[in-house]
Structure 1
Amino acid sequence: MHSANYRRLLRTPGAAAFFLPASLGRVGVAMTGLSIVWLVHGRTGAFGAAGLVSGAFAVSEALGAPQLARLVDRFGQTRVLPPALLAHAAAVAVLGYLVAADAPGALLVLGGAAAGASVPQLGAMSAARWAALLRTDRAAELPTAFALESVTNAVGYLVGPATVSALAAAGHPMAGTALAASLSVAGGLALAAQRDSAPAPATDCAARTRGDGSVPRGPVLVLVGLNLAIGVYFGAMQVSVAAFTVDHGAPGAAAPVFAVSNCGGLLAGWLYGLRRWRAAPAAQLPAASGVLLFGTLLLFTAGSPCGLGMVVFLTGAAIPPLLTLFNVLTESSVHPSVLTQAFSWLGSAGAAGSAAAAALSGWAIDSRGPHGGFALGAGAAAATTLLSLAGLRLLRVPKRRPAATRPTPD
Structure 2
Amino acid sequence: MRGYLDVLSVSRLRVPLAATVIGAFPVGMLSLGLLLYAHELTGSLAVGGLAAAGFGLGNAAGVVVQGRLIDRYGQGRVLVVAGTTCALWGVLLVAAAPVVAWPGFAVVAAAGMGLGIPATVAGMRVLLAELVPTPGARTAGYALLAVLFHLALLAGPLITSLLLVPAGPGGAVVAGGFLAGGAGLLFSRTRASRNWRPRGASARGDGLRRNAGLAVLLLIAATTGISAGVVAVAVPASALDLGTAADSGVLIAAVSAGEITAGLAWGARPWRWSAARLLLAALAASVVAAGMTAWAASSLVLLLPALFLVGMCSGPSAIASSALLDTLVSRSTLTRAYTLMVSVFLVGGALGNAAGGALTESLGHRQTFALNACWLAVLVAAGALLRRTLEPGSGAPARPAVRAS
TM-score when scaled to structure 2? Answer: 0.92
RMSD: 2.3
Report the equivalent of 1:94.
Answer: 92
Report the equivalent of 2:135.
Answer: 139
Q: 1:162 aligns with which of 158, 161, 181?
A: 158
Q: 2:82 aligns with which of 74, 80, 84?
A: 84
Answer yes or no: is 1:191 the counterpart of 2:187. yes
Residue pair 1:216, 1:334 contacting (<8 A) in 2 also: no
Question: Which moves more between the two structures, 312-321 or 179-188?
Answer: 179-188
Question: Which moves more between the two structures, 368-377 or 274-283?
Answer: 368-377
* Identity %, equivalent residues: 25
Structure 2: where are the runs of 5+ without partners?
none
In 2, Cα distance between equivalents of 1:349 and 1:214: 15
Report the equivalent of 1:288.
Answer: 282
- CA spacing shift, 1:306–1:165, aligned 2, 3 Å: farther
Opposite residue 357 of structure 1, the aligned amino acid is G
For residue 342 of structure 1, report the CA deviation from its aligned partner: 0.6
Residue pair 2:79, 2:184 contacting (<8 A) in 1 also: yes
Alignment of 1:183-262 (within 5 A): 183-197=179-193, 198-203=195-200, 211=205, 214=208, 216-262=210-256
Q: 1:108 aligns with which of 99, 106, 109?
A: 106
Opposite residue 142 of structure 1, the aligned amino acid is R
Residue pair 2:35, 2:49 contacting (<8 A) in 1 also: yes
- CA spacing shift, 1:212–1:64, aligned 2, 3 Å: closer
For residue 183 of structure 1, report the CA deviation from its aligned partner: 2.1
In 2, Cα distance between equivalents of 1:232 and 1:378: 12
Q: Deviations over 1:212-268 (max 9, x none)?
A: 664652111111111111211221111111111111133221111122221121111
Paired residues in the alignment total 401
Alignment of 1:5-24 (within 5 A): 5-24=3-22
Alignment of 1:377-388 (within 5 A): 377-388=372-383
Answer yes or no: is 1:60 the counterpart of 2:58. yes
- CA spacing shift, 1:365–1:212, aligned 2, 3 Å: closer
- CA spacing shift, 1:256–1:9, aligned 2, 3 Å: same
In 1, Cα distance between equivalents of 2:13 and 2:74: 18
Opposite residue 57 of structure 1, the aligned amino acid is F
Structure 1: where are the runs of 5+ without partners?
none
- CA spacing shift, 1:297–1:335, aligned 2, 3 Å: same
Residue pair 2:226, 2:349 contacting (<8 A) in 1 also: yes
In 1, Cα distance between equivalents of 2:339 and 2:231: 23
Question: Which moves more between the two structures, 99-108 or 242-251?
Answer: 99-108
Report the equivalent of 1:305.
Answer: 300
Q: Deviations over 1:73-93 (max 9, x none)?
A: 100001221122211211121
For residue 171 of structure 1, report the CA deviation from its aligned partner: 7.4
Q: 1:355 aligns with which of 308, 328, 350?
A: 350
In 2, Cα distance between equivalents of 1:170 and 1:365: 37
- CA spacing shift, 1:100–1:298, aligned 2, 3 Å: same
TM-score when scaled to structure 1? Answer: 0.91
Q: 1:267 aligns with which of 261, 270, 290?
A: 261
For residue 403 of structure 1, report the CA deviation from its aligned partner: 4.7
For residue 200 of structure 1, report the CA deviation from its aligned partner: 1.1
Report the equivalent of 2:336.
Answer: 341
Q: 2:30 aligns with which of 10, 29, 32?
A: 32
Opposite residue 197 of structure 2, the aligned amino acid is A
- CA spacing shift, 1:68–1:212, aligned 2, 3 Å: closer
